[in-house]
Every structure is written in C-alpha cells, then in structure tokens.
C-alpha cells in the first residue's frame, strides 16, 4: 500500500465517524512556545486549553511536522527524521479513552478490503502508563489484546506533553512486531526497532505549567499521532522510513550524487549513514523553505541553515564536492506535491534558496586553508575527546585545543562541534593561539587552539573541567 493510500484511509476512517477533515497547517504557527509545528495537535491547542470554542467536536488531519530535538539520530536509525507527516484524530471533550482505542484498533487491524490497514492483530503490542488500569482493561476488552502484549511504562515514556508548557496526558502507544530479523523478543520495552511505534494515543486531560506542575484541563480530550512514514515502512515491509515510496526517490538522488551503491554490497556504513542524512535534511529543508523559512543566523532561519549545512557536511565527509541539494529537493517536491501543491508552485524559490545557502556554505568551508585545517583538526580533537576514557588521553600529544564550555554537557557539545565546524565563527589568531566561538543546537561555547606548525608537535590542553572529564 503506498503512502498516499495510507493517508487516504486514515482520513476516510475518521471522516466516516463524524470527524471534520482539517487540512495541514503551515509549519510556522504563531505559537510563542514553538519554532515549528512539532505535533498534529499544535493547531488545535486553543481548543484543548479552552481558550477558543472548537468549531467541531472531533477532527482528523495529516499535519506537517518538524522536530529537531533528535537531529543527531537522523540517518543513524531507521526511523528518525526532522520532517515527518503526522496522521491524527482529535476529540475536544467529545469521546475519550474507549472511543480512541476502539477507533484506532479498527483502523489498524481492519481488513484492507473493508478500508482498514490490515495489520495482523497478533503482531500488535501496546504500552500504557503505569497505573492506567482503565487503558489496560480497554485494550483487553475492546481489542482483545492478551495481557502479555500490553506493557507498562513510566512517565518518561508514557506521559505525552509538548516539551514546553501546554496540554498533555497519559498515553498509550501502538507497536507492530516486525519479526526476529529486526531484533530480540520482549516487546517495545526491550527493542524499539523490532517493535516499531506506529501510533500514540494521548488521553489529554492535564495542563503542564512552566514550573512543571499539572492541573486539569477544562475537558477530557483525545490527541493522537501516527507517523505516516513509519506506517508506510511497516506496510511496505521496508527496513527504514527512507526506503518507503514517499522517500525512496530522494534517497536515490542522494546516493547518485554521492556515487554510492546504497542498495548494493559495496556501500560502507559511513556512506549509507551520510546518504540518509543528506536525503532527510534536503527533504526537510525543502518543506521549511516551502513554508517561507529562509536561512539566517537566528530562530527558525538558523535551524534551517543548520539542517542544510548538516546535509552538505555529511556529503563532504563521503567525498561529494559538487552541489547537490537542488536535485534532492526536486525529488522531494515530485513526491510530495500531490499532498502539498504549494511545493510545486514554489519550486524555483525553494531551489534558489537552497542553492544560495549551499554555495555560501561551500565558500565558507573552502575559504582559507589555515582556517579549514584548524577546524578539521578541532573536529578530530573533539572526536578523540568524546571517545577518550578519562583524562589520560588528553595529556597525549594531539592537536592543541582548549575548550570553554558554557553548557551543562560539555561532552555532547564537543561531539556536535565536529559536525558543526563551519558554524565556528569569530576566529582570531593571537599569540600562537587561534581563538573562536562556536554554537550548535542552541549551545554556545568558546575554544582556543594551538595553530599548527610544521616543526613542532601539537599539544592538547583541554582546560575546561567539564569538557576534559
């Protein structure tokens, strides 16, 4: 079943049950707590909070989403992406747990002939929040799930909230067992690659305040999120979201640009990882520019800049020297224009914005060999530091570097610095040291390093206590 058909079935299932079909909102909603829409519920937030009267009691949508919290995982795993489409059904004080579980179960396991997704009910597992006996009983009675395939988890996994002040609640996640080829037995609490999450049902009933305390919302609501790309991966028997019909042409364009035989036997792990990251980031950038974001040094524009630069960084790591981003954007637009016609209308603008940023970045990283060499050395040193066990390695003669970390987690900052090296700015040579500042993922740090000399060895000094430990 292709992705367009999964989308159609999701919407039709809920429309037939009285849900109003609501088109995807822009990725850029006017919500001061968020840079981008990161979940299907975001456009409905005022209804959950009781700030506005919902014009309908129940709704269904397929919402464009961008999440960059997991950006380091993109390409490494089979399932992470910064851009994804989230199918969801919503109840604004209308039906609650029994309705949500019943509706989800019927769609997931309903036969394909009758309009369902046709998953084998014996392969479905669910998780519920520890103590939510009502959800456990419902999965047992409504869906007939045996108790051994209903697993309990704590607040960290099974309490959904926006990550910022806002509505949330206990949740119940639906997983499909993809079989022993994907990992060990034991359900989602053991392996989330084999047991792939395809749907999250949130029993939305609490408001999370800035200080973390929670109070009741005016009504008991339902908010669900089902990642379209993930459902497609399982439906189509693909190992990763990147190989589904909606993504494959972009992946193939990336592999072609890199000259990597992605599906053959010769691609190295590093090449395959880089190709996936190139594809995902160019696709996400295409959607962001399509909704009006342009690269800049702050806010949304900075996130976009970072996404594009990561694509180029990964490409350079595996030897790509020619511009490639517009070719990948074309492939993404061709696949997504059916659902999002504005992408075709803005194709030229998207291409121009991508090309300009790619060229700018390429100019940056090729400008000045000393600077580039210094940054590459910095990158290598950062890798050694993050790999190093304890202080000892840092005493060995390796490239000179002092790190002054301003974040709580210096180790991670150093790790990302490797990929962010072109974000390093304000470089200045002084007294044999190169001083600079860098930022990545919202973190800001400063460093100084010894400038390379042909006649002497490098000496690493990492004086930051956090970074050095």
Shorter beta-carbon distance to ligand GLY: residue 223 or 405? 223
- Measured from the CB of residue 371, what is the shortest distance to ligand GLY in angstroms? 42
Smallest gap, in angstroms, from Cβ of residue 162 to ligand GLY?
Answer: 8
User: Does the protein bind ligand GLY through residue 445 (CB under 6 A)?
Assistant: no
Q: Which of 202, 232, 251, 422 binds ligand GLY (CB under 6 A)?
A: 202
| Two tokens, residue 434 | 């190169």
DSSP calls for 318-385: TT--S--HHHHHHHHHHHHTTT-HHHHHTHHHHHHHHHHHHHHHHHHHHS-HHHHHHHHHHHHHHHHH
Q: Please report, as residue ranges, which positions from 90 to 119 form the binding site for ligand GLY (by CB under 6 A).
A: none
- Cα separation of 248 and 225, whole Å? 23
Report CA torsion sign: 282, 287, 288, 294. positive
CA terminus-to-terminus distance, the chain: 51
Comparing CB distances to ligand GLY, the nearer of 85 and 271 is 85
- Provide the token pair at 201: 């049902």
DSSP letter for each residue of 109-125 = HS-TTTTS----GGGEE
What is the smallest separation between the CB atom of 210 and ligand GLY, expressed in angstroms? 20
Which residues, 6 or more positions from 341, have their beta carbon under 8 angstroms from its beta carbon?
none
Q: Is residue 39 near ligand GLY by the rule CB under 6 A? A: yes
Q: Is 326 in the site for ligand GLY (CB under 6 A)?
A: no
Does residue 320 touch ligand GLY according to CB under 6 A? no
What is the token pair recorded at 413?
A: 């900052």
**Could you say which of 94, 132, 177, 223 contacts ligand GLY (CB under 6 A)?**
223
CA–CA distance, 369 with 443 (Å, rounded to integer) = 26
Using CA atoms, how far apart are residues 194 and 185, in angstroms rounded to an integer?
Answer: 8
221 or 379, CB closer to ligand GLY? Answer: 221
With respect to ligand GLY, which residue has the nearer C-beta, 47 or 273? 47
Q: How far is the CB of 164 from ligand GLY (least distance, A)?
A: 13
Does the footprint of ligand GLY cover residue 160 (CB under 6 A)? yes
Kindly state whether residue 225 participates in binding ligand GLY, applying the rule CB under 6 A.
yes
Structure tokens, 195: 């047991």
Give whichever of 160 and 313 is closer to ligand GLY, judged by the CB atom.
Answer: 160
Closest contact distance (angstroms) between CB of 93 and ligand GLY is 17
Question: Is residue 41 at the binding interface for ligand GLY, with CB under 6 A as the rule?
Answer: yes
User: How far is Cα 425 from Cα 446, in angstroms, rounded to an integer?
Assistant: 10
Nearer to ligand GLY, 39 or 104 (CB): 39
Sites of contact with ligand GLY (CB under 6 A): 39, 41, 160, 200, 202, 223, 225
């Amino acid at each position: 079943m292709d992705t367009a058909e999964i989308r159609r079935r999701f919407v039709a299932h809920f429309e037939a049950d009285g849900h109003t079909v609501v088109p995807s909102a822009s990725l850029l909603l006017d919500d001061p707590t968020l840079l981008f829409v990161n979940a299907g519920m975001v456009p409905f937030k005022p209804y959950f909070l009781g700030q506005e009267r919902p014009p309908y009691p129940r709704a269904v949508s397929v919402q464009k989403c961008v999440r960059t919290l997991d950006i380091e995982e993109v390409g490494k795993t089979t399932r992470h992406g910064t851009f994804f489409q989230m199918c969801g059904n919503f109840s604004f004080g209308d039906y609650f747990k029994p309705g949500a579980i019943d509706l989800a179960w019927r769609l997931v396991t309903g036969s394909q002939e009758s309009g369902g997704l046709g998953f084998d009910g014996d392969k479905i597992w669910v998780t519920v929040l520890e103590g939510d006996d009502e959800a456990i009983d419902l999965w047992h009675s409504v869906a007939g799930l045996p108790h051994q395939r209903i697993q309990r988890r704590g607040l960290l996994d099974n309490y959904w909230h926006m990550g910022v002040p806002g509505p949330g609640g206990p949740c119940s996640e639906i997983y499909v067992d993809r079989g022993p080829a994907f990992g060990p037995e034991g359900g989602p609490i053991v392996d989330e690659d084999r047991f792939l999450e395809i749907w999250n049902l949130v029993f939305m009933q609490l408001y999370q305040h800035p200080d973390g305390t929670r109070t009741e919302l005016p009504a008991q609501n339902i908010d669900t999120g089902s990642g379209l790309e993930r459902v497609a991966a399982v439906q189509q028997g693909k190992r990763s979201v990147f190989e589904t019909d909606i993504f494959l042409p972009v992946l193939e364009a990336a592999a072609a640009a890199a000259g990597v035989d992605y599906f053959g036997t010769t691609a190295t792990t590093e090449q395959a990882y880089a190709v996936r990251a190139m594809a995902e980031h160019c696709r996400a950038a295409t959607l962001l520019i399509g909704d009006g974001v342009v690269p800049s040094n702050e806010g949304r524009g900075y996130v976009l800049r970072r996404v594009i630069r990561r694509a180029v960084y990964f490409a350079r790591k595996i030897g790509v020297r020619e511009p490639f981003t517009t070719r990948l954007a074309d492939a993404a637009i061709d696949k997504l224009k059916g659902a999002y016609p504005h992408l075709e209308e803005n194709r030229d603008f998207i291409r121009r914005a991508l090309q300009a940023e790619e060229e700018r970045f390429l100019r940056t990283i090729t400008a000045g060999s000393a600077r580039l060499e210094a940054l590459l050395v910095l990158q290598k040193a950062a890798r050694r530091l993050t790999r190093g066990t304890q202080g000892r390695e840092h005493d060995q003669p390796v490239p000179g570097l002092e790190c002054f970390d301003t974040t709580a987690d210096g180790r991670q900052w150093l790790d990302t610095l490797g990929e962010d090296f072109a974000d390093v700015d304000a470089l200045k040579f002084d007294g044999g040291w190169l001083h600079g500042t860098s930022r990545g993922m919202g973190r800001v740090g400063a460093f100084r390093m010894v400038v390379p000399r042909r006649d002497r060895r490098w000496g690493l000094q990492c004086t930051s206590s956090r970074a050095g430990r």
